[in-house]
Structure formats: structure tokens, C-alpha cells
A and B are shown apart, each in its own frame.
Chain A
Amino acid sequence: MSTLTPAEPTSSVPTPPARTTGSRRRGKSRMDPTRNNTAAGIAAWLLALLFAVPVLWMILTSFHSEVDAATNPPSIAADLNLDAYKEFFGATSGVSPWPSLINSATASIFSTVLVLLLAIPAAYALSIRPVKKWTDVLFFFLSTKMMPVVAAVLPLYLFAKSAGALDNIWFLGLMYTSMNLPIAVWMMRSFLDEVPVEMLEASQIDGAGLLLTLRKVVAPVAMPGIAATALICFIFSWNELLLARVLTGVVAGTAPVFLTGFVSGQGLFLAKVCAAAVVISLPVLFAGFAAQDKLVQGLSLGAVK
């Protein structure tokens, strides 16, 4: 902060309110009263549109017929229909995506529940009644997240093969649990830290037992954070490809594995590919927008509030 150049010679005029043409609408914002926000707004909107184009295009194309989808130049105004969705759900091919969607839901929900069961007590031991050297423990959790999955996947595969757990959705869920647990512990700890110490002490003095304190004092403050953690763990599990690809096969393949069936798809199936991408992304889009505010905190491991 002190690096700010010292004020200019006193003769210099204080900022003239000259460039205020743009700030007429919302008046003087807290942020920056002299800046022209209209320009920033237009620039932001253009960039936002640019970033959204692939998503919007995917959605639009999914409602086109295959003939209209694969044209050059693009046929934006072509008729909309649900053929690609019918096709994706196996209208003529007979290949249903439902087993893979159900597998994804099973692995994601199972691992999310397990993560919460393991992470909440752990976070409690790192925040509310911290163990000795709790920072070291916290950083150990984080360091496990930094090890690439690919460095552990072969032994996991060999183990699953010998234990008969290959192509088993519950085993995959267990692996997702280990993948998400470090992040969940970090997030949850930062949410439990928001429980005021005074309230904990007060409830102790009033003679409330552990369970009562947890229910009446900790839970109400921590609940939104727990919900956000759950959504983020769900998203990561739903998105995962490498482990699913190696550890599952015919029976337990997940939605991303199903999607890889389109990798070498021919042009004729563009609308179907888009429909598949939309359907499989929907749960993540819902979960992501629901957890929007806590998403940063979760992804930055609780370091950013």
C-alpha cells in the first residue's frame, strides 16, 4: 500500500468531475464515482456473450434437426424440434443413456453423503474444538488433493481387479469420496469458523450438551455452507472421467463415459451430441448456479471469502 506514489505537487488540481457523463444513471456508485460505467458495462456484456456463445449454440443446435445442425453457414433460424433429445434417449438406436445417468447419480450422491459424514466431524475437530497442530493436519488434507489422480490410478485399478470391484459403481463412489474429502474438509472448516465463539461458550455455560449445541448453535450457522459443500462435491463427482473410464466398463459406466461414445461421432449426429451435452450438463448447471456464491470459496479451498 505504501508503494503508492506520494501525492503530486499541491498545484495539481484535484480530480475534476469531468468524466462523469456515464455515471448519470445509477448516480455515484460506491466503487468509483468518476468512472464511466456504461463503457465497462458494454464491454462486459460483449465478453459475457462471447463466452456464452458455445453454451447458447449447444442449446440451440440441440433443438435443430440433424440436417439443419450441420450446415455452413449456420442456420440460426431453422425450425426447432425435440428430435435430437428423442434420439439421445434411444428412440431408434435402442441405446439408452439412463443406466449411465443413474450410475452417475448413484456414485455422486453416495460419495457426497459419505464425504459429509466424514468431513463434518473432521472439520469440527479442526475448527470448533481444534486438535493440537490442527494447521498441519489441515495442510495434509490439502496436499493429498494436489497429487494427480493419474499417479494412483493403476494400483487402484489393480486392486479393484483383484478384489472384484471393477465395474462396480459403489467402488467408484468410494474413490470419488477420497477425491472430494480434502476440499470438503477445507470448505467445511471455513464455514464452521463462522460460528461465533461467544455463542459456543454461552451454550456451554448454560449446560447444553454436545448434541444440543451442535443442533441449536452450530447447525443453523453452518447449514448453508454444508449445502454448498455438498453441491460442489456432487459436481466434481458428476464431472469425473479418468477414474470412471478406468474403473468402470459395461455395467457401471457413468454419464461422462457415455459421452465419450461421441468422441469420433460423425457430422450426422451433431444435434444429438448437443442434446447429450445439454442433458448431462443440466444437473451441474443447476447445482453450480445454486452454489454460485460459495463456489469460489470451495474451489479456492476456503482461502478466499
Chain B
Amino acid sequence: MTTATARVSRHGSSTAKPSRNARARERAVAWARRAPLLPALVFLIIVTQLPFVATLIISFLNWNSLSPSKTGFAGIGNYVQILGDPYFLQAIMVTIIETVSVVLVSLLLGLGLALLLDKKFIGRGLARTMLIAPFLIVPVAAALIWKHAILNPVYGLINGTLTWIWALFGSDTPPQPDLLSSAPLMAIILSLVWQWTPFMMLILLAGLQSRPMDTVEAAQMDGATPWAIFRHLTLPHLRQYLELGGLLGAIYIVQNFDATFVITSGGLGTANLPYAIYETFYYANEYGLASAAGVVVVIGSIIVATFALRTVFSLFKKEAAR
């Protein structure tokens, strides 16, 4: 009897009416199952959900820590102010441009690299290791290297190499672009693409290697061209992996703070939302405004996350069905 109820409880609600004793026992079993889960769950709710509730509350307050006397209820004033403030509107635009371009470019590059690395060639392991390296440099360090060692207009590697190449052809007037001041957002995007392409490559490579080879071989036997195989077999198979890579990448890149902070410190119109929020509360002490902007970010993230969760869920179900 007891084992039967226990087994029923594992599969959801039991239809039989158990006696009070059995029900208590069932409840005990359920709690015994839940117990190992609770510390993690409780910890996470306290440390991530409560602060967000606090952010939500603060977002409706007038609160600048430098003038405490003016603290009070603001209604939706902070939201109105943010959505009418050119600085925040630009930050929203920067965030969108940055996220979309980094995700798309690194996905495309990552796809190309994954397709190449899926083939056998000499030194493939080493090439793969070299490609992963950008992802394993501390983000702040990577941004510093891009700013000082690569993109610096005077002695950076790019302009240095241009000087060297031009000198080979006897010219001493090489082009010396200054991306950091002429297109600072591009500089940030470039460094982020460099860091994120390996991530996309790794996910897509895993996808390629889980591709059922028998259908590909059958298609080859039937005389399908490599392009047709890619278009009709590989790409449909990779679709979920592309979505997964794109959405996970988007979730991280929307939150990008390090590259902006290091490369431009938010100057020249490159502040994205995380950086703008940081500035608003850390330097300007506008707690209410910063919180309202934080809520706006969360709303945007929820939109992305809904898609991300659905993608993960479909992969997850596929795996469970296996």
C-alpha cells in the first residue's frame, strides 16, 4: 500500500482516496523529496527576487541620495522622465544596436568556423584551442587589450601593421584610422564580436557533431550538392542551435558592462543601458531614475528570455524524449 501511494505520487496526483495516515505519509515523502531543493531555491529567491522587488518599489520614488529631503512618491514620474530623456533613449538604442549586431556577426562567423572545424584537417585540435582563447580572456583584460594594444591610433597593432605594409610598398603615408574616437561604438562591437564568436562556434560545433550522418550520406549518394546538403539538411538541424546561441548571447550581451566601461567609459554616445544605469545611481545618485531604467531593462530581457526559454525547452524536450 505505502509503496503504491509513493509510486502514484511520483507520477502526479493520485486519484484514489488515501486514508489520513497514508496522506500524511505521502506528504512526508514529498517533503523528503523537496528538502534537498529548498536551500538553493530559498537562497536564490532571497538574493535575486527580493532585490528586484526593491528595485521595482524604488522606481516609483523620488530619491536622490544627495538631497534626502526631497524623497517621496513619484508615481510613474521616473518612467516618464526616462522615456523622454535623450540620454536614456540613446542608451536604449545603443543597447539594441550593440546586441543585435554582436549576436548576428558572431553567429555568422561562428557558423563559418564551426563548419570549417567540423572537417578533419591537420592540427584541428590546436586550431580549436586557439579559437577558444578569446573567450577565456578576462573581459576587462580583453577590453583593455583592444583599447590600448590593438586600436590605439598611435601605437596600436592595427595602425602599426598598416604602417608596416605601406612601408613594404615604399609609402610613408599609411592610413591611420582612429576607431576609438571616430566610431567608438564600432570599437566596442568589434571587441565583443571577437569575444563571443568562439562561444557561438562551440555551440554550433556541438550541433554539427550531433547531426545524423546517415541522411547526409544518403543525400550524397543521391547526388546532392554540398550546398543542397547544407541548405536542406545541415541548416534545419542547426536551427535550434543557432537560436540557442543567439538568445543566450543576447542575454549576456544586453548586460554588457565591462567593454563599455573600459573602452569608452560610456563617452561619445556609447553608453548602453547597464552603463547608463550604473552612472545614474553610482555617480548621479539618482536612485529612483536608475531603478526605473533597471525595470525597463528587465522588461526588455523578459521579452528576449521568453524566446530563450522556449528554445531551451524545445531542445530539452527533444533530449528527454531520446
A residues bordering B, Cβ < 8 Å?
1, 3-5, 7-8, 12-15, 25-26, 29-35, 37-38, 40-41, 43-45, 47-49, 51-55, 57-58, 61, 69-74, 118-119, 121-122, 124-126, 129-132, 135, 137, 139-159, 174-175, 177-178, 181-182, 185, 235, 238-239, 241-242, 245-246, 255-256, 259-260, 262-263, 265, 267, 270, 273-274, 276-278, 280-281, 284-285, 288-289, 292, 295-297, 299-301, 303-305
A118 x B43 contact (CB < 8 A): yes
A152 x B41 contact (CB < 8 A): no
Chain A proximity mask over B191-235: 1 for CB below 8 Å, otherwise 0: 000100111001101110010010110011111101010001100
- Does residue B154 face the partner (Cβ distance < 8 Å to A)? yes
B136 x A241 contact (CB < 8 A): no
Query: Of residues A69, A185, A263, A285, which shows the largest number of chain B Cβ atoms within 10 Å of its Cβ?
Result: A263
Q: A57 CA to B132 CA in the complex, in Å?
A: 16
Q: Which residue of B lies closest to A14 (CB)?
A: B223
- Does residue B93 face the partner (Cβ distance < 8 Å to A)? no
Contacts of A280 in B (CB 8 A): 138, 140-141
Q: A188 CA to B112 CA in the complex, in Å?
A: 31
Report the stretch among B67-75, B76-84, B309-317 that lies at the interface.
Answer: B309-317
Contacts of A274 in B (CB 8 A): 145, 149
Q: A137 CA to B228 CA in the complex, in Å?
A: 42
Q: Which residue of B lies closest to A262 (CB)?
A: B144
Partner of A45, one of B123, B132, B147, B277: B123
- Does residue B122 face the partner (Cβ distance < 8 Å to A)? yes
- Does residue B16 face the partner (Cβ distance < 8 Å to A)? no
| A122-B39, A143-B309, A304-B207 known; A52+B149 contact, CB < 8 A | no
Q: A161 CA to B180 CA in the complex, in Å?
A: 36
Partner of B41, one of A55, A122, A130: A122
Q: List 15 A-B contacts (CB under 8 A).
A: A41-B123, A52-B130, A55-B137, A72-B159, A72-B160, A122-B41, A125-B34, A142-B309, A142-B312, A155-B51, A155-B54, A175-B47, A255-B138, A263-B265, A284-B136
| B residues 121-140 touching A (CB-CB < 8 Å) | 121-124, 126-140
Q: Which residue of B lies closest to A184 (CB)?
A: B40
Q: A158 CA to B63 CA in the complex, in Å?
A: 13
For residue A259, give the distance in angstroms from its CB to the closest CB of chain B.
Answer: 5
Q: A57 CA to B255 CA in the complex, in Å?
A: 28
B55 x A152 contact (CB < 8 A): yes
| A148-B255, A260-B262, A296-B202 known; A267+B139 contact, CB < 8 A | no
Q: Which residue of A lies closest to B273 (CB)?
A: A150
Categorize the interface residue count of chain B.
Answer: 35 or more
Q: A154 CA to B58 CA in the complex, in Å?
A: 9
Partner of B140, one of A5, A52, A185, A260: A260
Q: What is the count of residue pairs linking A and B with beta-carbon distances less than 8 angstroms? A: 367
For residue B74, give the distance in angstroms from its CB to the closest CB of chain A.
Answer: 15
For residue B257, give the distance in angstroms from its CB to the closest CB of chain A.
Answer: 5
Q: A71 CA to B316 CA in the complex, in Å?
A: 52
- Does residue B104 face the partner (Cβ distance < 8 Å to A)? no
B55 x A44 contact (CB < 8 A): no
Q: A118 CA to B43 CA in the complex, in Å?
A: 9
Q: A129 CA to B34 CA in the complex, in Å?
A: 9
Q: A242 CA to B295 CA in the complex, in Å?
A: 17
Known: A152-B294, A305-B319. 10 other contacts (CB 8 A): A4-B219, A32-B220, A32-B226, A58-B149, A72-B154, A143-B305, A154-B294, A155-B51, A263-B265, A296-B202
Partner of A44, one of B121, B265, B295, B304: B121
- Does residue B274 face the partner (Cβ distance < 8 Å to A)? yes
Partner of A177, one of B43, B55, B167: B43
Contacts of B123 in A (CB 8 A): 41, 45
Q: A53 CA to B305 CA in the complex, in Å?
A: 34
- Does residue B97 face the partner (Cβ distance < 8 Å to A)? no
